[in-house]
Amino acid sequence: MIYPIDLHQVPYSCRGSYLALSHLNENHQGHGNAAGLHLRTIRNCTITPLIARLTPVFPSGTDYTALLEDTALRFTGDGGEIECCFADDRTLLFRGGPGCSLTLDFLTENGPYDYIYPLLHEGRTLYMANCYKNNCQYLIVPQGGTCELDQQWEESSSLWSRLSFSGDAGFRFAILEVETEWDQVLPMDDFDAARDNMNAAFRAFRDAFPVLPEAYRTMGELAIFIDWSFLVRPGGFLRREGMLMSKNWMNNVWSWDHCFNALALAGSHPETAWDAYIIMADHQDVTGRLPDSISDQHVIWNYCKPPIHGWTLRRLMETMTLSPAQMEEAYDFLSRWTLWWMNYRRRDGLYYYNHGNDSGWDNSTAFSLLPPVATPELQAFMIIQMEILSDLARRLHREDDAQRWQEDADDHLAFFLERCFRDDLPVAIQLSTGKIIENESLLPYEILVLGKRLPESVRRKVIDLVSSDKYFTAHGFATESPASPFYRDDGYWRGPIWAPSTMLMIDGLEKCGEAALAREAARRFVDMTAASGFAENFDALTGKGLRDLAYTWTASVALVLARDYLA
């Protein structure tokens, strides 16, 4: 696998690592940086995520193209090249050819107490960059060529700290992330062996995925690389390996995003898929509530996310076999989560959200009136969750629990069909007034996940509506009708196409017996990602990627759709 990589969009990293290389624009997110290539940390305990700016120089200038070759990165300029690879999830190796140089500016102006000090180790001079701004240190180990330190010390910090590498025969060096104390073990000194080892690890991960149709091979390889390289090792609040939503700036695990990543991994890496699915249960509180998001350093409780975990488990069980211990774990997790909704987010028989963020559709027009709001798809997710709990209870020989959960599901389905429809179309309700919230959001139509449990008249009307040009564009399902006065090209959940809504709608269409329409929707979405990458969301009319341009749930949904609907 060799292809150009746009480091403006896709950061370079590896499985387990909290380090990433990106090309950033000037003053990225207000950090005052110059434009260029930057080494970043994606830890959430930092003053700034920027570690150092890298300036590569080639025999005829500074322009270069970046190529990804499996897991190694090559910068090719006029007359030379510089290569980079991970030796492990804490260590980056660099080497450059004759006539090339590379300068690392550790951006000491971004915070106090940053400087570089020399270390003598076994007769060699090494350098430790003490980066208070990153809550970390970085050991730089020259391995070939020349290394020059340019630094101005003043009182307790350096005004600037730069290391430059060059050499008549080229140069080589390593950067090692040191969280607390260096263990005195030198990084690997064989670039080719390190690259081959990391390539082998990635290829083993990649080759476990099913072969996709030829038209989607390149798309699939990049999607798999993003999912692989955005995994991070356990640390802090992450008690198991976790797949972050991005290594750009969305450096968290949100408590519905992770479900779509688990689906992509289920058929090829069941253990990793299980960790991706159950990771939020590590932080479930005594009431059964899940946090909004987690990272290595933060657990956010202000919001929650929709209860799609039963829906997800149902799809996982279609692809992977759960052990008895996993079924027990899932039953405990899902029952406590479902009871939280029953005990804390139900009024007058309806489940509700306290904010659009709780739904995952942050600014949807379904929340144009002051919450709490009872939305139709929430009722559908709860019904499915009760049904999967009934199925799990039966598998675990808990017959009384199985009967109770199924009765709860049946009762709520009947109540939902009575309360949440107008002229066979689902409606959102402001609970404080009982008003129907007029909107043209796609959100209510995710009720299709209930499939043929919906009356035929409802199914037909909803399917006809969402498959019309009111919502269904050349690229897929717009989250707000382009005909709506509230539609915006880059309006977050007021127009753009998103991976999770696409996945849920396609699953619903399939469950309703609309296999051809589900396949067509999958094709449009996957074709869009093949052309535009794996952005957080997309302009519904042009297919252009928007916001964070490398997002795991987008890569994961593209893989699931290509695998399950287009292969």
Instruction: Dump the DSSP string for 42-88.
Output: --SS-S-SEEEEEEEEBTTBS-EEEEEETTEEEEEETTEEEEEEEEE
Q: Of 293, 260, 289, 300, which is closest to residue 276 (Cα–Cα)?
A: 260
Q: What is the pLDDT of residue 39?
A: 98
pLDDT at 405: 98
Supply φ then ψ for residue 149, to 5 degrees.
-100, 125
- Residue 338 phi, psi (nearest 5): -70, -40
pLDDT tens figures, 212-244: 999 999 999 999 999 999 999 999 999 999 999
Contact 183, 88 (CB under 8 A): no
At residue 47 the predicted structure's pLDDT band, cuts being 50, 70 and 90, is confident
Res 453: pLDDT? 97
Contact 8, 23 (CB under 8 A): yes
E strand segments, 155-261: 157-166, 171-178, 231-232, 242-243, 253-254
472-483 pLDDT tens trace: 999 999 999 999
- Exposure string over 341-380, b if 16+ CB within 10 A, otherwise e: beeebeeeebbbbbebbbbbbebbbbbbbebbbbbbbbbb
Q: Is 161 helix (H, G, I), strand (E, B) or coil?
A: strand
Asked whether the beta carbons of 103 and 160 are under 8 A apart, the reply is: no
The residue written with tokens 């949100």 in the block is 254
In the chain, where the domains are located: 2-200, 208-566
pLDDT band at 544 (very low <50, low <70, confident <90, very high): very high
The H or E element containing residue 117 is strand 115-121
Element (H, E) at 557: helix 552-561
Three-state secondary structure call for residue 170: coil
pLDDT above 90 covers a percentage of the chain that reads 96
Tally Cβ neighbours within 10 Å of residue 409. 21
Strands ordered across the beta sheet of 36-41: 19-24, 36-41, 50-57, 101-105, 157-166, 146-154
List the one residue out of 306, 146, 256, 342 whose CA is nearest residue 557.
256
pLDDT at 54: 97
Nearest to 505 by CA among 468, 547, 451, 549: 451
Considering the segment(s) 208-566 as one domain, its CATH architecture is Alpha/alpha barrel (1.50)
Report, as an integer, the average pLDDT of 443-451. Answer: 98
**Using CA atoms, how far apart are residues 80 and 85, in angstroms rounded to an integer?**
17
pLDDT of residue 269: 97
* Cα first-last separation, the chain: 21
CB 104 within 8 A of CB 140: yes
pLDDT average, residue stretch 122-134: 95
Q: DSSP assignment of 409-427, as one string?
A: HHHHHHHHHHHSEETTEE-
Write the DSSP assignment of 5-46 as a string of letters.
--TTTS-B--TB-SEEEEEE-TTGGG--PPSEEEEEE--SS-
Question: What number is the average pLDDT over the span 257-263?
Answer: 98
Quote the tokens at residue 138.
Answer: 């970085």
pLDDT band at 289 (very low <50, low <70, confident <90, very high): very high
Question: Domain 2-200's class?
Answer: mainly beta
Looking at residue 153, its pLDDT comes to 94
pLDDT grade, residue 45 (50/70/90)?
confident
Q: What angle do CA 189, 2, 84 make, to 5 degrees?
A: 25
Q: How does DSSP classify residue 290?
A: P
What does the mean pLDDT of the chain come to?
96
| Edge-to-edge strands, sheet with 91-96 | 2-4, 64-69, 72-77, 80-88, 91-96, 171-178, 136-144, 124-131, 115-121
pLDDT at 567: 87
pLDDT at 1 over 80: no
Nearest partner of 462 among 361, 484, 471, judged by Cα: 471
452 has a pLDDT exceeding 80: yes
Q: How far from chain centre, in Å, is Cα 342?
A: 29
What was the pLDDT predicted at 178? 97
Among the listed residues 17, 57, 13, 52, the one whose alpha carbon sits nearest the alpha carbon of residue 31: 52
Average pLDDT over residues 533-541: 98
CA trace torsion 395, 397, 402, 404 (10° rounding): -160
Quick one: which of 23, 516, 500, 72 has its CA closest to 258?
500
pLDDT at 96: 97
Do the Cβ atoms of 529 and 223 come closer than 8 Å?
yes
pLDDT band at 436 (very low <50, low <70, confident <90, very high): very high
SS3 content of the chain, % helix, strand, coil (to 5): 40, 25, 35
Q: In whole angstroms, what is the distance from residue 258 CA to residue 552 CA?
A: 9
Cα dihedral sign, 525-530-536-539:
negative
The predicted model gives 398-422 an average pLDDT of 98
Q: What is the mean pLDDT of residues 343-361?
A: 98
Q: What is the pLDDT of residue 414?
A: 98
